[in-house]
Amino acid sequence: MKRVVFTDLDGTLLDRFTYSYEKSLEAIKLLQVKGVPIIFCSAKTKAEQEEYRRELGIGDPFIVENGGAVFLPQDYFALPISGASSIPGYFVIELGLAYEEVRKVLKNVEREQGIFIRGFGDMSAEEVSQKTRLSPRCAVLASQRAYDEPFYLEGDSDQVKQVLDNIEKAGLRWTPVGSHYSTVGHTDKGKAIKILLELFKREFGEVETIGVGDSQNDLSMLASVDVPVLVQSAADEWVAGIDLAGIYKVNGIGPEGWSKAIKELFGDL
């Protein structure tokens, strides 16, 4: 049976504040030695994820911008892939709306509500860096968006709720992500995982999926795998509202919890 790990990045494999993967390295090596695919499934862009893939020596498929698209290395699966387009190095299965369309919907809601929706597309890379604590270079990569728009809202709770409701009515999905929100077309991490899982089953037969996340933004991912794992977002604290049957709530914040869960599920070197 082929085992596959789907993982969130920020606050899970990566430290939420420093974006470091140092505490995950031993467990990443364990999976690589055992031949277990590591599928990034994150709000991060293609450019951001490629950076980590190069540094960590990961060559598996990956899911970008909250399920906006699935990127498949062109030599990864032996059988043809229907519904995919081809770009240098990858086949791409696009699931989300184009970024420009997402931005257009947000601006329409903004005009109707009279509340400024400040997205990454309204900010310079320097402002993105200040808001997110990303390095200036990483902020540039985070601004290279194709499907999903992170955004900030100001206003009282009723105003914010009305804006979010209208974003949904306009056909977009949104999720809370730390101090901001993120919106994408009618897709999510879970939808992307299901498509990728069918490709793995076609190639390898029986497949067991493990998903590791830390936040509400990971709910669709965790609901789509055989073994959902939730790491702590703070000491002795797991995010509320994720109460899936059989979920493993591991002790350990972010990459500490990630490493602990991987070692418990896969043994040691």
Tokens 């418990």 belong to 264
List the one residue out of 192, 153, 174, 155 whose CA is nearest residue 8: 192
8 catalytic per annotation: yes
The pairing of beta strand 85-87 with beta strand 248-253: unpaired
Residues 61, 73 contacting (CB under 8 angstroms) = yes
**Residue tagged active-site, from 8, 10, 188, 214:** 8
Phi first, then psi: what are they for 221, rounded to 5°? Answer: -65, -50
Residue-wise DSSP of the chain = -EEEEEE-TBTTTB-TTT---GGGHHHHHHHHHTT--EEEESSS-HHHHHHHHHHHT--S-EEETTTTEEEEETTT-SS--TT-EEETTEEEEE-SPPHHHHHHHHHHHHHHHT--EEEGGGS-HHHHHHHH---HHHHHHHT--SS-EEEEE-S-HHHHHHHHHHHHHTT-EEEEETTEEEEESS--HHHHHHHHHHHHHHHHSSEEEEEEE-SGGGHHHHTTSSEEEEEESBTTB--TT---TT-EEEEEETHHHHHHHHHHHH---
Task: List the catalytic residues.
Answer: 8
